[in-house]
Amino acid sequence: MAFTKNDKGMLEGYIKNARPFADMFSVKGKVALVTGGSSGLGFDITLRLLQGGAKVVIASYSELEGETSIPLLEEQGFKGSVAFKLTDVSKEAQVKELVDFAVQTFGGLDIFVNCAAVWNYAHIYDIDERDVRKVFDVNVMGAFFGVKHVSKYMKENGVHGKIVLISSNCPIMPYPVFGGYPHYASSKAAVMGLTTEAAKELKRFGIMVNSIAPGAMVTPGSAGNLASSYLTEEQQDEFYEELMVWQTDGQLPVDQIGIMAYTFCTPASDGITGEVVMVDGGQTHNIVSYQAAIDQYPPEEE
């Protein structure tokens, strides 16, 4: 079909409506809440949000993490733009108090990043009920309570906000070699489901909900991750033997994952909701730059 003057007008409309490129990746003037924001990936996301111009409230169950992270961020020039609140996200009343605190501290709430999570190692046939309940209380109920109270505030105040939930690639690609994350993988699969349903419910209010699913990365939490304390010493030793043969294609720098999470907090993601984005360097598609040889474990019987 021939190009017409009307087509030219459409192109002129594209130009007129194009927002300045820098604005598309800015969170200047926004208020963000990051649970788990005092360590690991959450800390990295907090840093990026502050660099982007947001004011940020970070929450953690650890007073020490708050006492450590806030001065570090203030040393980078963000004094007055970041605050900490001690919070157990598995307790709904505390999550509501956290949302109220963010609004009272910085005058509103535009962005919510749920990064709080706990885990440990145990096989499904050995796992203790207490480990399962703790992981689900923090990882699932914590995310649920956060979305509930943040979205309620946004809806009632006409905020076209951004919600980003940190899940994991492990429901899609179980690891280590012989598993050991049945409770964690299940909890992160639940976060994926929450992402889709919350996005469906909240789009009509201009609230966009997405999830970042990282692969393995080095954080204080992952570095100190151990077998369940409820396992026998023999079971723990067996598990650590299995971990010794866990081979992957390497681990992404935390900031590569943090940058993707940050992007979902910006206008650049205005057209995206209900998505779970795997940020694992292609791991879930078996896209690798190398594959180390692994001897059969346990050895085949002769």
**Active site (annotated) includes residue 187:** no
The one catalytic residue in 184, 187, 262, 269 is 184
Helix (H) or strand (E) holding 102: helix 92-106
Express each pLDDT in 223-263 by its tens digit.
556 778 888 888 877 777 776 655 566 678 899 999 999 99
**pLDDT score for 246:** 58
CB hemisphere CA count around 19 (13 angstroms): 9
**298: preceding bond cis by omega (within 30 degrees):** yes
**Active site (annotated) includes residue 91:** no
Q: Which of 24, 37, 30, 145 is nearest to 91 (CA)?
A: 145
The one catalytic residue in 38, 168, 187, 228 is 168
**pLDDT score for 218:** 60
**pLDDT score for 291:** 62
**pLDDT score for 70:** 96
The one catalytic residue in 188, 228, 262, 269 is 188
Is-contact 82 60, C-beta < 8 A? no
The number of angstroms, rounded, from the C-alpha of 131 to the middle of its chain's C-alpha atoms is 21
**Active site (annotated) includes residue 188:** yes
What span, in angstroms and rounded, lies between the C-alpha atoms of 18 and 281?
31
Binning pLDDT at 50, 70 and 90, where does residue 172 land? confident
pTM recorded for the entire structure: 0.90
Q: In what order do the strands lie in the sheet with 55-60?
A: 82-86, 55-60, 31-35, 111-114, 162-166, 208-214, 276-279
Q: Which domains does the chain carry?
A: 27-283 (3.40.50.720)
